[in-house]
């Protein structure tokens, strides 16, 4: 599995800027080239394990119309160079505010600076964290049989034992490239909702089954995805996803977690968790466990139908097509907490053990 390569980010930035400079000196219009970012420009290769770019590029040539974006891209590259050199970082929001000192190149709204940042990422094939731009939001939570190795501000090694947080838990930092791990756990359980995470934590599920619990907190953040990926790579641990049984859980959470999204395919190499398998909740579980449900909303139906038509991951896996047809036919969605109908400990005592005995039947 890919480890992030040590890249001379400053070198890459300087080389690109030099190219622009040289074009101008030769009285040619400078150009920047970057991949098209959409689901139409990715393919799903199960061997690679995540969506990869098909190779369509767009070109940005310096003209009267593009001059502002062009200048902003160069200024953003300069900021990145400064952050790398100073071993500092900036959140996306901070980067936007820093631009307020760029005179006419200042961004009016943050979506503009975010887009330029993403263009630079895609152009260099680097991830934002390598450019020292870090996410605003926090990472995710961890409890269970894991020791995280980090360092304090003086460089002293710290061993953070995730079995020693009592009823609390370890909160993943916004950047986790420097972390190392020790563990003898048997698997990682990635959980959609904070409520279910707390339920399993409360019942010491990690202690009983020798596993690591990770709370995704809805759509997992970049830091959370990268954390699970590095953890799973380094310790060769299987990852099982336990999410709500609805199209949002299947695609926005699980599919993105495992193989990525079309919009950010240049990141998938680092942020996807191809080793993830789908534990539940499946449309079949609704029947097998007589779960209380809610009707599918219009947006659920649209999301499911779109996936059948356009999603390279779903188109590749017959098992998923079958599951989605079953979902659409049933007309209902289900939540993780629905197991509570049979008693609060039912999920721990019955559902999870039964599912884990049939791991080989997990959806891919």
- Residues engaged in binding its own copies (CB under 8 A): 88-91, 93-98, 100-101, 134, 136-139, 141, 148, 150-153, 158, 160, 163-176, 178-179, 193-195, 197-199, 202, 204, 207, 215, 217, 292, 335, 337-341, 344
What CA–CA distance (Å, rounded) separates 129 from 229?
15
Tokens 């936007």 correspond to: 96
Compute φ and ψ for 119, nearest 5 degrees.
-60, -40
The number of angstroms, rounded, from the C-alpha of 119 to the middle of its chain's C-alpha atoms is: 18
Residue placing its CB nearer to its own copies in the complex, 118 or 335: 335
Burial (CB count within 10 angstroms: exposed 0-12, middle 13-18, buried 19+), residue 115: middle
Please, which residue, 92 or 315, has the CB nearer to its own copies? 92
Buried b (16+ CB within 10 A) or exposed e, 70-97: bebbbbbbebbbebbeeeebbebeebbe
- In the numeric block, which tokens belong to residue 38? 């959409």
Structure tokens at 7: 């890249």
The H or E element spanning position 53 is: strand 50-53
Residue 37 C-beta: closest distance to its own copies, Å: 24
For its own copies, give the closer residue by CB, 22 or 161.
Answer: 161
Active-site residue (options: 50, 96, 97, 250): 97
Do the beta carbons of residue 171 and residue 177 sit within 8 Å? no
Q: Is 49 left (phi over 0), alpha (psi -120 to 50) or beta?
A: left
For residues 10 and 85, what is the distance between their CA atoms, to the nearest angstrom? 8
Compare residues 40 and 149 and give the one whose CB is closer to its own copies.
149
Q: Inter-axis angle of helices 67-85 and 110-124, to 10 degrees?
A: 70
- Rounded to a whole number of angstroms, the minimum distance from the CB of residue 235 to its own copies is 18
Whether 97 is a known active-site residue: answer: yes
Between CA 8 and CA 170 the distance in angstroms is: 32
| CB distance 40 to 306 below 8 Å | no
**Considering beta carbons, is residue 217 or 262 the nearer one to its own copies?**
217
When the beta carbons of 220 and 274 are compared against its own copies, the nearer one is: 220
Q: Just list the catalytic residues.
A: 97
């Amino acid at each position: 599995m890919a480890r992030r390569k040590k890249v001379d980010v400053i070198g890459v930035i300087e080389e690109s800027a030099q190219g622009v400079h040289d074009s101008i000196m030769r009285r040619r219009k400078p150009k920047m080239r970057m991949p098209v970012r959409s689901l139409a420009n990715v393919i799903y290769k199960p061997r690679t394990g995540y969506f990869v770019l098909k190779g369509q590029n767009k070109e940005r040539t310096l003209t009267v119309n593009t001059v502002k974006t062009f200048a902003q891209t160069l200024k953003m590259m300069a900021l990145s160079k400064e952050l790398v050199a100073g071993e500092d970082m900036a959140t996306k929001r901070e980067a936007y505010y820093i631009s307020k000192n760029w005179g006419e190149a200042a961004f009016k709204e943050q979506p503009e600076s975010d887009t330029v940042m993403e263009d630079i990422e895609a152009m260099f094939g680097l991830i934002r964290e390598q450019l020292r731009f870090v996410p605003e939001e926090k990472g995710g939570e961890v409890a269970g049989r894991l020791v995280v190795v980090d360092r304090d501000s003086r460089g002293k090694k710290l061993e953070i034992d995730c079995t020693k947080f009592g009823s609390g838990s370890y909160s993943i930092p916004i950047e986790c490239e420097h972390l190392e791990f020790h563990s003898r756990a048997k698997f990682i359980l990635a959980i959609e909702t904070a409520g279910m995470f707390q339920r399993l934590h409360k019942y010491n599920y990690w202690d009983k089954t020798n596993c690591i619990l990770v709370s995704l907190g809805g759509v997992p953040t970049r830091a959370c995805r990268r954390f699970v990926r590095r953890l799973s790579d380094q310790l060769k641990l299987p990852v099982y996803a336990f999410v709500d049984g609805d199209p949002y859980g299947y695609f926005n959470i699980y599919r993105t977690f495992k193989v990525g999204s079309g919009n950010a395919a240049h990141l998938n190499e680092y942020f996807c968790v191809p080793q993830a398998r789908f534990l539940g909740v499946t449309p079949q579980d609704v029947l097998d466990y007589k779960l209380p449900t809610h009707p599918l909303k219009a947006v659920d139906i649209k999301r499911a139908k779109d996936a059948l038509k356009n999603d390279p991951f779903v188109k590749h896996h017959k098992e998923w097509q079958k599951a989605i047809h079953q979902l659409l036919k049933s007309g209902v969605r289900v939540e993780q907490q629905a197991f509570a109908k049979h008693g609060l400990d039912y999920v721990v005592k019955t559902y999870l053990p039964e599912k884990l005995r049939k791991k080989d039947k997990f959806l891919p």
